[in-house]
């Protein structure tokens, strides 16, 4: 039976789900190859786990579905899912050390969320002005 691994990554309201299996080294995000996905900045952000461990993506196919949030939130969710998938596939503690030394959010979801809007104001903290005269 073929080895298949499922991982996920979150950032703000974006959720990325990665499926990894043996293959030719193709990485697809929402059915689009990584080389053609998004802007140059988002591609660089997503490719960080691949650049930190050269040759990690050879021999594996990664399919990532991402939804919710904005452009960079999705990119960071994808990079977390990808890093977790590579780590689980290789099962190498040295890779985990490299990822954690570079950036902890490669393996740990960023838990920060938008603060909710409160009454008597336009946002989370801003209040409507008072005028007594």
The pLDDT profile of the chain, 133 residues, written as one tens digit per residue, is 788 999 999 999 999 999 999 999 899 999 999 999 999 999 999 999 999 998 888 889 999 999 999 999 999 999 999 999 999 999 999 999 999 999 999 999 988 988 999 999 999 999 999 888 7
Candidates 22, 14, 9, 132; CA nearest to 73 is 14
The answer for residues whose C-beta is within 8 angstroms of residue 46's C-beta and 6 or more apart is 29, 34, 37, 38, 75, 78, 79, 82
Distance of CA 95 to the CA centre of its chain: 17
Tokens of 24: 């030719």
Q: Which two tokens stand for residue 39?
A: 């802007």
Backbone phi and psi for residue 47, each to the nearest 5 degrees, phi listed first: -80, -5
Domain ranges across the chain: 4-106
Pick the CATH number of 4-106 from 1.10.10.10, 3.30.230.10, 3.30.70.260, 3.20.20.70: 3.30.230.10
pTM value is 0.88
């Amino acid at each position: 039976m073929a080895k298949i691994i499922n991982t996920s990554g979150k950032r703000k309201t974006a959720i990325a789900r990665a499926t990894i299996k043996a293959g030719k080294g193709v990485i697809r995000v929402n059915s689009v190859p990584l080389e053609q996905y998004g802007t140059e900045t988002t591609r660089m952000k997503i490719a960080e786990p691949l650049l930190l461990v050269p040759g990690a993506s050879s021999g594996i196919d990664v399919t990532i579905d991402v939804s919710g949030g904005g452009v960079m939130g999705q990119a960071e969710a994808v990079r977390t899912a990808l890093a977790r998938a590579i780590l689980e596939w290789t099962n190498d503690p040295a890779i985990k050390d490299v990822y954690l030394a570079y950036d902890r959010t490669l393996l740990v979801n960023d838990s920060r969320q938008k603060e909710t809007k409160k009454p008597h104001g336009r946002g989370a903290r801003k209040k409507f002005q008072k005028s007594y005269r």
